[in-house]
Amino acid sequence: MNTPAISMADLRLTFHGAARQVTGSCYLLETRGGRLLLECGMFQGPPATTERNRLDFPFDPRSLAAVVVSHAHIDHSGLLPKLVRAGYTGPIYLTPPTHDLLELLLKDAAHLEMKDTQWENKRRQRAGKRLLEPLYTLEDVERVLAMRRPLPYAELAQPLPGVQLRFHDAGHIIGAAIVELGLDTRDGRRTLVFSGDLGNRYSPLLRDPERLAHADVLLLESTYGDRDHRSLPDTLAEFRQALQAAARSGGNVLIPSFAVGRTQDILYWLGRFHREGDLPQSRVFVDSPMAIEASEIYVRHAKLFNRDDPDFNRLIGHGWQAWLPCLSYSRSTEDSMALNQVQGAIIIAGSGMCEGGRIRHHLKYNLWKRDTHVIISGFQPRGTLGRRLVDGARRLSILGGDIAVRATIHTLGGFSAHAGQSELVEWALGLQPARPRVYLVHGEVEAMTALRERLLAQRMQTEIAEPGATIAL
């Protein structure tokens, strides 16, 4: 198919989110062939950050010809229903696992949005203030789901005239992609690469992030741009020690966990400990309907797992209980409430930042007990309850109660689903012969600054993406 050449002056990219902050991924690509939105993520964190979700889009959604989403996490996809509500009607390109996960995550987000809006409106009504409309509803989510266009890794699509799209395995969660956009110009092909969220090379389930050979412009995530993770052997040793200490005291182990990615990694390691005779607890509960369904989606796409553990690869096709026989799922509210009576168990519950979900109830019932152990296994942005636990808070307000923190808090950075600083630098250096311009996104300013210094020392042109800034490609 012949496509019109695009003048380089017509190629522009604007940073509308995840610039000088971790969440809210959103980048607008403008070409002669039309407008493409790369990501449409929700801002997450404290109220001052989440209020940005209620602002109008800084572009007309009706003007967009296509949307590309790197993976299903809400900070990359969570405002898609709002985009559709505001008039977008085109295709949404994503990988097949992301196609499946998106339904799960967006329906949950819609339920939470409607519930939160209902509670906020009760408060506003008492105060005589204007009532709020929800950002979106389940009907908007259904419209999003009808627009999904799955594209397997390595296959080509043309979302716009003169623009070629290809996904590469990012190794972050199942289906996460590095996005490669080839842009035809009169002066030849220009390549824009968005790293998405790059995975940790020590992921027990997923393959290492795919290496690319060329980019003219690189958008590089920098969540852990200022540090490397603890080594995997040290992380696993601390994990074992926490489980053993809790078993000796008879207390529960609480693991706030992201439903997609982290929960499945933890289930893998608990199963490995069990098979090595090194799991002191006899009961493991996943108390999150979303995490349960996400785990089942992982099994459906097990062909994308790495092949590092033949026993796991042989058993996982029969479900997670085949790998971890002491695993139970707490699907209903009644199942979750029954866990208030258990002792000596491992309870994995959402959310990973402790900002919502069932983990807050378990923290309320267990955090004040000295025999409780809490394992923080993922990144905790500023202002979140999880970050306050990591920073050593001694008292917390949880579900209306003032709770003393007497539990032992463990931070296991080696379980992160994100690449650490050295991994980010090593991956980016694979593109160095092409001398790309690098723009850092998805990170707190300190992390971005540290990563920029490392890349500049390697003679890579590197800038920190500025909110609202437009660059010429």
114-165 pLDDT per residue, tens = 988 998 899 999 999 999 999 999 999 999 999 999 999 999 999 999 999 9
In a domain, 33, yes or no: yes
Pair 259, 124 in one domain:
no
1 in any annotated domain? no
Does residue 303 lie in a domain region? yes
Token couple for 315: 């058993």
Same domain, 202 and 266: no
Question: Is 3 inside any structural domain?
Answer: no
Look at residue 4 in the predicted model and tell me its pLDDT.
45
- Do 346 and 256 sit in the same domain of this protein? yes
pLDDT at 349: 96
User: Is 171 in the same domain as 28?
Assistant: yes
β-pair partners for 281: none
Q: In this model, does residue 7 exceed pLDDT 60?
A: no
pLDDT band (50, 70, 90) for residue 416:
confident
Looking at the fold, whether 218 and 237 belong to one and the same domain comes out as no
From 399, 415, 431, the end of a domain falls on 415
Which pLDDT belongs to residue 342? 95
Flag whether 406 is in a domain. yes
Q: Identify whether residues 271 and 409 lie together within a single domain.
A: yes
Q: Does the pLDDT of residue 196 top 60, yes or no? A: yes
Query: Do 223 and 329 sit in the same domain of this protein?
Result: no
Predicted confidence at residue 340, as pLDDT, reads: 93
Cα distance between residue 279 and residue 106, in whole Å: 35
Residue type present at position 332: S
Question: Within a 13 Å sphere around the CA of 65, how many CA atoms are in the beta-carbon half?
Answer: 14
pLDDT average, residue stretch 27-44: 96
Q: Which domain does 402 fall in, by range?
A: 232-415
| Same-domain check for residues 86 and 206 | yes
Instruction: Characterise 343 by phi-psi region: left (phi > 0), alpha (psi -120 to 50), beta (else).
Output: beta
* Residue range 80-125, pLDDT digits in tens: 999 999 999 999 999 999 999 999 999 999 998 998 899 889 999 9
pLDDT at 9: 56
Q: Are residues 392 and 443 in the same domain?
A: no
| Assigned domain for 285 exists | yes
Is residue 21 a part of any domain in this protein? yes
Among residues 415, 432, 452, the one where a domain terminates is 415
Work out the mean pLDDT of the chain and round it to a whole number.
94
In a domain, 2, yes or no: no
Does residue 321 sit in the same domain as residue 455? no
Same structural domain, 291 and 310: yes
- Average pLDDT of the residues in 259-271: 96
8 pLDDT more than 80? no
Residue 351: pLDDT band (50, 70, 90) is: confident
State the pLDDT confidence band at 383, using cuts at 50, 70 and 90. Answer: confident
> Of 415, 439, 461, which marks where a domain is finished?
415
**How far, in Å, CA of 40 to CA of 84, rounded?**
11
Q: Please tell me the least confidently modeled range out of 171-180, 299-308, 346-355.
A: 346-355
Query: Assign residue 337 a region: left if phi > 0, alpha if psi is -120 to 50, beta otherwise?
Result: alpha
Burial classification of residue 469, based on how many CB atoms lie within 10 Å of its CB (0-12 exposed, 13-18 middle, 19 or more buried)? middle
CATH (domain of 349): 3.40.50.10890
pLDDT at 46: 79
Give the model's pLDDT for residue 361.
95
Domains: count for the chain: 2
pLDDT of 3 over the 80 cut: no
Q: Residues of the chain with pLDDT > 70: what percent?
A: 98
CA–CA gap between residue 451 and residue 440 (Å, rounded) = 8
Bigger pLDDT: 47 vs 88: 88
Q: Is the confidence at residue 321, as pLDDT, over 70?
A: yes
174 and 291 belong to one structural domain: no
Using the predicted structure, report yes or no on whether residue 30 has a pLDDT greater than 90.
yes
pLDDT score at 346: 98
pLDDT digits (tens, 9 = 90+) for 212-257: 999 999 999 999 999 999 899 999 999 999 999 999 999 999 999 9
Question: Could you tell me the pTM of the whole model?
Answer: 0.91
Q: Cα–Cα distance between 6 and 16 in angstroms, integer? A: 23
The whole-number pLDDT of residue 185 equals 84
Q: Is it the case that residue 5 has pLDDT exceeding 70?
A: no
